[in-house]
Structure 1
Amino acid sequence: MLQLCKLTDSLFISNSRSACDDKLLSGEGVTFCINVSKQQPFPALRVSTLRVPVFDDPAENLHRYFDRCADTIEDVSQQGGRTLVYCKNGRSRSASICTAYLMKYRNLSLQEAFEHVKSVRSTVDPNEGFWLQLQRYEGELQSRKTGKNYSTSG
C-alpha cells in the first residue's frame, strides 16, 4: 500500500515506492525529501532533496547525519514546508533519522521518540547499530542541555 505516514504536521516517513508517488507528495504538500539510501531514486516531483548515502547496515555511521537531518527538517518546518524522510522499506534508516529529529526538536527521550514513530508506522525497526547510535545521540543531546562535555568518539 502506498502511503506517507505523518509524524508531525511537517514530517512524514515512508518507503521509496511511496516517496516516488508524485500524487501522494503533492497531496500532502511535501516540499523536501531526505533520501536515506545510496541507490533509491528521488521523486520526479520538483522538491528540494538531500541524500544521506548509507546502507541499512549496523556498521554504517548514520550518527554523523543526525544533526544535519534534524536541523534541515526543522528549517523546512519553520519556513512552512513539509519534509518526507524515506529509505527502501521505510523501516530502519528513515526511522532512525525521524527518531533523532523528535529527540532533538521535540525534546523526547529515545524511547518516547521511537514509540511515536512506531505508533505511526508499525513496521519501523532500526537495526542494532543504528539503535546504538541513537542511544549515543540521546546522551549527547542531554549533555548539550546540561553543558557537560560529552565524547563523540566511538
Structure 2
Amino acid sequence: MQQISKITDSLLISNSRSACNDELLHHEGITHCINVSRQQPFPSLKISTLRIAVFDDPQENLYDYFDLCADAIQDTAQGGGRSLVYCKNGRSRSATICIAYLMKHQQLPLEKAFQIVKAARSVAEPNKGFWSQLQRYEENLMATQSKMQTN
C-alpha cells in the first residue's frame, strides 16, 4: 500500500515506494525529499532533494546528519514547504531523522518525539544503534539549551 504519513503540517514520512509516486507527492504538496538510504531512488518530480547515504545498520553513523536534516526540514517549513523523509521501508532510518527534527526544533524529549512519529507511522522503530545515537543527541541538545539559558 502506498502511504505518506503526516507527522507535522510540514513533515511527512514514508517508504521509498510511496516517496517515488509523483502523483502522491504532488497531492501532499511535497517540496523537499530527504532520502535516508544508499540505494533507494529519488522521485522524478522536480523538487529539492538530499541523500543521506547510510544503511539500516546499528553500526552506521546517522548522528552526524541529525543537525543537517533537522535544519533542512525547518528551513523548508519556514519557507512554506513540506518535507518528506523516507528510507526503504519508512521504519528505522527515516523515523530516526524525523525524531531528531522534533527534538531539535520542537524541543521535545526523545520519548515524546518517538511517540509522535510512532503515532503517525506505526511501523516506525529506530534500530538499537540509531536509538543510542538519539539518546546522545538528546543529551547534547539539553546541554546546549542549558548553556544558552545560563548566558
Counterpart of 2:25 in structure 1 is 25
TM-score, normalisation: structure 1 = 0.95
Aligned to 2:120: 120
Give, in whole Å, the separation in 2 of the partners of 1:78 and 1:133. 27
Instruction: State the secondary structure of the residue aligned to 1:147.
Output: helix
Structure 2 counterparts to residues 20-59 of structure 1, below 5 A? 20-59=20-59
Match of residue 100 from structure 2? 100
Partners of 1:58 and 1:140 in 2: CA distance: 20
Q: CA deviation at 1:147?
A: 1.2
Amino acid at match of 2:64: R
Cα distance between partner residues in 2 of 1:30 and 1:121 = 17
Correspondence 1:1-154 to 2 at 5 A: 1-147=1-147
Q: What's the CA shift for 1:109?
A: 0.4
Aligned length: 148
Aligned counterparts of 1:82 and 1:121: Cα–Cα separation in 2: 17
- The AA in structure 2 aligned to 1:19 is A
Amino acid at match of 1:64: D
By how many angstroms is 1:113 displaced?
0.1
Identity %: 64
Segments of structure 2 that go 5 or more residues without pairing to the other structure are none
Deviating beyond 4 angstroms after TM superposition, the runs of 4 or more aligned structure 1 residues are: none
TM-score (normalizing by structure 2): 0.97
Distance 2:24 2:3 in 1: 7
Question: Could you tell me how far apart the structure 1 residues matched to 2:97 and 2:17 are?
Answer: 18
1:29-51 superposed Cα distances (whole Å, 9 cap, x missing partner): 00000000000000011110000
CA distance in 1, matches of 2:91, 2:28: 20
Q: Distance in 1 between matches of 2:23 and 2:106?
A: 29
In structure 1, C-alpha distance between the alignment counterparts of 2:14 and 2:86, rounded to whole Å: 5
Deviation sequence 1:63-96 (CA, Å, 0-9, x none):
0000000000000000000000000000000000
Please give the secondary structure, in 2, of the residue aligned with 1:55.
coil
